[in-house]
Amino acid sequence: MMSNSALVSYTQISPNCNVPRRQQIRKITPHHMAGWLTLPEFGALVAKSSRQMSANYAIDKDGNIGLFCDEANRSWCSSSPENDHQAVTIEVANDGGAPDWHVSNAAWRALVDLCVDICQRNPGLAGGLLYTGNARGTLTKHSYFSATACPGPYLGGRFAELAREVNRRLTGAQAEPMPAGTALHLERVPLYVASNSLSSAGTRTGTYYLWGTAVIGGRVRITNSPDNAGRPGQVTGWIDLADAVEAAGVRDQGDDDRGLSTIRIAHASNVQALALYELAQALDLVAPGYYRSAYTDTYKTAQQIEIGQISAGDAQAVRKLCEEIGAAYEQEG
Ligand SMILES: [Zn+2]
């Protein structure tokens, strides 16, 4: 049974396709958009039956991947029914114009990821990609079938590299797979909102779980419970693969031996409490059960605070703040 890529973050199925494709998938044909449409803009374009065109996937210049024609169906993309009945077609947005038609690094990385994923799921491409410079190979160009500049000098000039990189990843990926749901013991690991976010949205400390096996732009998705692995809407965010590999493994939260400690402040004014809360938030220590506070008097002028699951580095930051704001504390563990 044919499936679609789990790397997709946007879907708008086009009516411009043949259902189902007549042949097994054994080729990939990357195109360039000759423009830099967003995925919704591309979706709106191929939604028009008057356009008489579609693609299985499109990648925008930020590396987001959209689905516009199920892999089970033949897209209208390469001016060749023979090619497209066998090919998964991918439109890649440019980030520059003629004559070079440049493609961003983010879009390139997404293209490599998507090709790897397609090869992994389709038996006809289990051997990887073969670039021969003509229609006989398994990595084909639009320009083989019609008088078009597509895929453009920049992307077209990297097809041999694309096949090499995809094949390298396919062999490497078989060596050490980390299954979804693998426990990751994170210690101040930068968390990203998206695979291609340039700056992190804070850090994460504690036990998380690999959401899925896909690696995009060198990052993987994490979730907060093993039961949420693979579940849509349950992605906490993205972390670097290198961080995940380092954090994977042996320990579980129950018998954690990383020296996590708890800091208790018996009496903090509301102003001191606010400063402590803000620091805890910045250190990602406000997760349920990590940060507890209660008023110590009926007039709510002071609080007692307990911050748990604190790593050594975070403990140092919390102690430093307590000293700065003049709040007495006790540390346990
Ligand atoms: Zn094309």
The answer to whether 10-171 and 261-332 have equal CATH topology is no
Helices (H), 219-329: 241-247, 270-282, 312-325
- φ, ψ for residue 322 (rounded to 5)? -55, -40
Specify the pLDDT at position 253: 34
Specify the pLDDT at position 218: 85
Residue 11's contacts (CB-CB under 8 Å, 6 or more residues apart) are: 66, 67, 68
Task: Report how far ligand 1's centroid is from the alpha carbon of 52 (Å).
Answer: 13
Specify the pLDDT at position 173: 46
Specify the pLDDT at position 176: 47
Domain ranges of the chain: 10-171, 183-247, 261-332
Distance CA 91, CA 109 (A): 14
Task: Report how far ligand 1's centroid is from the alpha carbon of 237 (Å).
Answer: 33
Task: Report how far ligand 1's centroid is from the alpha carbon of 138 (Å).
Answer: 16
173-228 tens-digit pLDDT:
443 457 788 888 888 889 999 999 989 888 888 888 899 988 888 899 999 888 88
Specify the pLDDT at position 177: 58
Class of domain 183-247: mainly beta
Angle between helices 270-282 and 312-325 (to 10 degrees): 160
CATH architecture of 10-171: 3-Layer(aba) Sandwich (3.40)
Task: Report how far ligand 1's centroid is from the alpha carbon of 29 (Å).
Answer: 8
Is residue 195 helix, strand or coil? coil
Task: Report how far ligand 1's centroid is from the alpha carbon of 134 (Å).
Answer: 15
Task: Report how far ligand 1's centroid is from the alpha carbon of 33 (Å).
Answer: 7
Task: Report how far ligand 1's centroid is from the alpha carbon of 217 (Å).
Answer: 24
Positions in the chain whose pLDDT score sits under 70:
1, 173-177, 248-259, 287-289
Task: Report how far ligand 1's centroid is from the alpha carbon of 88 (Å).
Answer: 12
Task: Report how far ligand 1's centroid is from the alpha carbon of 195 (Å).
Answer: 26
Instruction: Please say whether the structural domain 261-332 has been given the CATH code 1.10.8.60.
Output: no
